[in-house]
Amino acid sequence: MATKKTAVAEPTTMNELKATLWKAADRLRGSLSANQYKDVILGLVFLKYVSDAFEEEQSILRAEYEAQGIDEEDIAELLLDTDTYVGEGIFLVPVAARWTFLAENAKGQAPSGAEAGRTIGALIDEAMDQLMRDNPSLRGTLPRLYNKDNIDQRRLGELVDLFSSTRFSRQGEHKARDLMGEVYEYFLGEFARAEGKRGGEFFTPRPVVRTMVEILEPYSGRVYDPCCGSGGMFVQSEKFIEDNNGDPREIAVYGQESIEETWRMAKMNLAINGIEVQGLGEKWGDTFARDIHADTQMDYVLANPPFNLKAWARSEEDSRWTFGVPPEKNANYAWIQHILSKLNDSGKAGVVMANGSMSSNTGGEGDIRAQIVEADLVSCMLALPTQLFRSTGIPVCVWFFAKKKGARAGEVLFIDARDMGHMISRAERSLSNEDIEKIAGTFHAWIGSPSAEAAGREYEDVPGFCRTVPLAEIKEAGYALTPGRYVGAAPTPEDSEPIDEKIVRLKGELIEAFDESARLEKVVREQLERLV
């Protein structure tokens, strides 16, 4: 049987690539809910990436072996050596799971043989099974939903054809892993927008994550997220290390996620970015009900827990409640105390919270916050601008904790960044690189970190933006931690006009206003007289 060749026209820019793949999502949007087509598309994106990476590595190896004069029989055997691919961070992709094979059968072109009569959905499900069988780290991760009754097989075949129009290459200017990681994050963001509030459960906007990572600087050690969503905190931590010429292998990620579909997304996201996925456990699970990393202390914690969670697995006897039992109808202080319980003796953490957490006294939250402040665990409170999260209008802040604060013991840094950022749509705001650098740079100057010393930064209070505050003053304020309460107002622009000149100018403007008023009064009187 002749083999059908799939034309490959690689998009030249990232925007073109994203547009092509989002167009693919539109093929199924009319027949599936946002949640369903998200899983379908992200699974295909993952399958396309691992297939392209494997086939390209095979071609490179074959060329090398042929150049060495190795005969075809030995080359065929060498190409089956699994250690070669694993060592390069490439997943093993059996023939029936390769994109070329799926593209050939996308519309039932095979008239005979084992694939005759099988739908493209059945072939994709089988491809997922084989990938998980041959790659233990993927077991229980990949979606198997392509042959269900609610999946239009004709549209699915068209989808495979559309995906075939691009190829992820490990050669050239952009590494396939970096490219694919950006595409995957783009899809997560688009699906988060499509799903509204539900989308916020698996996706934290990149500017928020970047700000947290830039402040914490997780160069090495254990990085933990107890409600990891799609794994964005881990991905951004690795990018931070690479951008600063570090070794990403110096960090180990640990996470937990309670929603099955989101847990699968996280494992695929980490796999695409070359991050070890074992730290997410063998299956999803509720952190409050069962902490799968209960015996592991962490160097860094980055988290964006569900805001104001009302239904959660609460136990008054839980040993994590060092500073008080959290209220039954709000898990904010349960997340905070869980995270504090995970930090080792020099651990640091950043936690996104609803603004209400900074001042609430409901259900004993004020007493818990007071004890945490008195324990000198809060290093910085950051108020963020609104509309960073398109899925929610709730104003947010970030709590930063540190077990060791060095010279800043007994103080808390307050940063009010509510006026920062720029609108990227009618409903969504973003932080620029300069915004993030200003926020993180302020923190590092305050704490006296090596990066601040290297940049020659020295901290100083800036009215309306940042201020370092002693614990005694926070106590006097009833342990409220709202930055706007402490940083004060920004200074008004200095008026450089001499007072005598200003009086003359204002007098002239007032006389002009009186004259104009008199003129208008005369016009009105004339019009009224005509009516008599």
Task: Compare 3 and 151 and report the one with higher pLDDT.
Answer: 151
pLDDT at site 89: 74
Structure tokens at 213: 């990572």
208 C-beta neighbours (distance < 10 Å), count: 23
Is 72 found in the same domain as 119? yes
**Which band of pLDDT confidence, cut at 50, 70 and 90, is reported for residue 521?**
confident
**Which band of pLDDT confidence, cut at 50, 70 and 90, is reported for residue 342?**
very high
**Which band of pLDDT confidence, cut at 50, 70 and 90, is reported for residue 361?**
very high
pLDDT at site 201: 56
500 found inside a domain: no
**What DSSP designation does 462 have?**
B
Is 350 found in the same domain as 255? yes
Q: pLDDT (tens digit, 9 = 90+) per residue, 37-87?
A: 778 888 888 898 889 889 888 888 999 999 999 999 889 888 888 888 877
Query: Is residue 199 predicted with pLDDT exceeding 50?
Result: no
pLDDT at site 9: 47
- Report d(CA 184, CA 170) in Å as an integer: 16
Last residue of a domain, one of 471, 487, 503: 487
Helix, strand or coil, per DSSP, at residue 510 = helix
Winning range, highest mean pLDDT, from 160-169, 413-422, 508-517: 413-422
Helix axes 232-243, 260-272, angle to 10 degrees: 20
Strands (E), 405-511: 411-416, 422-423, 429-430, 466-470
515 found inside a domain: no
Is 69 found in the same domain as 215? no
**Mean pLDDT value of segment 188-214:** 75
Is 252 found in the same domain as 315? yes
Q: pLDDT (tens digit, 9 = 90+) per residue, 168-180?
A: 665 544 455 555 6
Is 162 found in the same domain as 287? no
233 found inside a domain: yes
pLDDT at site 112: 46
Judging by beta carbons within 10 Å of its beta carbon (0-12, 13-18, 19+), is residue 378 exposed, middle or buried?
buried
- The CATH code of the domain that includes 261 is 3.40.50.150
Q: What percent of the chain has pLDDT over 90?
A: 51
Is 270 found in the same domain as 156? no
- Report d(CA 199, CA 505) in Å as an integer: 56
199, 344, 492, 504 from 500: Cα distances, Å: 60, 64, 21, 6
517 found inside a domain: no
Amino acid 475 reads K
Nearest to 211 by CA among 390, 336, 335, 383: 383
DSSP string, 146-161: TTSTTS-HHHHHHHHH
- The CATH code of the domain that includes 107 is 1.20.1260.30
pLDDT at site 477: 97
Winning range, highest mean pLDDT, from 115-119, 235-239, 364-368: 364-368
- Report d(CA 91, CA 44) in Å as an integer: 15
**Mean pLDDT value of segment 101-118:** 69
Winning range, highest mean pLDDT, from 75-79, 283-287, 500-504: 283-287
Is 316 found in the same domain as 461? yes
**Mean pLDDT value of segment 293-300:** 96
pLDDT at site 178: 58
pLDDT at site 194: 67
- Report d(CA 353, CA 350) in Å as an integer: 10
pLDDT at site 173: 40
**Mean pLDDT value of segment 384-392:** 82
**What DSSP designation does 98 have?**
S
Helix, strand or coil, per DSSP, at residue 388 = coil
Under the phi-then-psi rule, with left for phi > 0, alpha for psi from -120 to 50, and beta for the rest, what region is 140?
A: left
Query: Is residue 198 predicted with pLDDT exceeding 70?
Result: no
- 128-137, 139-148, 201-210, 403-412, range with the lowest pLDDT: 201-210
Task: Compare 158 and 480 and report the one with higher pLDDT.
Answer: 480
503 found inside a domain: no
Q: Which residues pair with 352 in a beta bridge?
A: 398
**Mean pLDDT value of segment 342-364:** 96
Task: Compare 85 and 3 and report the one with higher pLDDT.
Answer: 85
498 found inside a domain: no
| 316 contact partners, CB below 8 Å, separation of at least 6 | 325
Query: Is residue 370 predicted with pLDDT exceeding 70?
Result: yes
Structural domain for 307, as ranges: 202-487
pLDDT at site 3: 41
Nearest to 94 by CA among 110, 111, 112, 82: 82
Helix, strand or coil, per DSSP, at residue 466 = strand
Query: Is residue 107 predicted with pLDDT exceeding 90?
Result: no
Q: Which residues pair with 206 in a beta bridge?
A: none
- Report d(CA 255, CA 303) in Å as an integer: 10
Is 214 found in the same domain as 113? no
Q: Which residues pair with 51 in a beta bridge?
A: none
pLDDT at site 6: 44
**Which band of pLDDT confidence, cut at 50, 70 and 90, is reported for residue 257?**
very high
Number of structural domains found in the chain: 2
Task: Compare 99 and 31 and report the one with higher pLDDT.
Answer: 99
Structure tokens at 58: 């095979």
CB 432 within 8 A of CB 438: no
Is 357 found in the same domain as 224? yes
Structure tokens at 488: 């004060």
532 found inside a domain: no
pLDDT at site 349: 98
Question: Which pairs with CB-CB distance under 8 Å and at least 24 residues apart come from 54-58?
Answer: 54/85, 54/90, 54/91, 54/92, 54/93, 54/98, 55/93, 55/98, 55/99, 55/100, 56/169, 56/170, 56/171, 56/176, 57/84, 57/85, 57/88, 57/90, 57/170
Is 405 found in the same domain as 481? yes
493 found inside a domain: no
Is 150 found in the same domain as 66? yes
Is 279 found in the same domain as 350? yes
- Report d(CA 170, CA 177) in Å as an integer: 7
pLDDT at site 294: 94
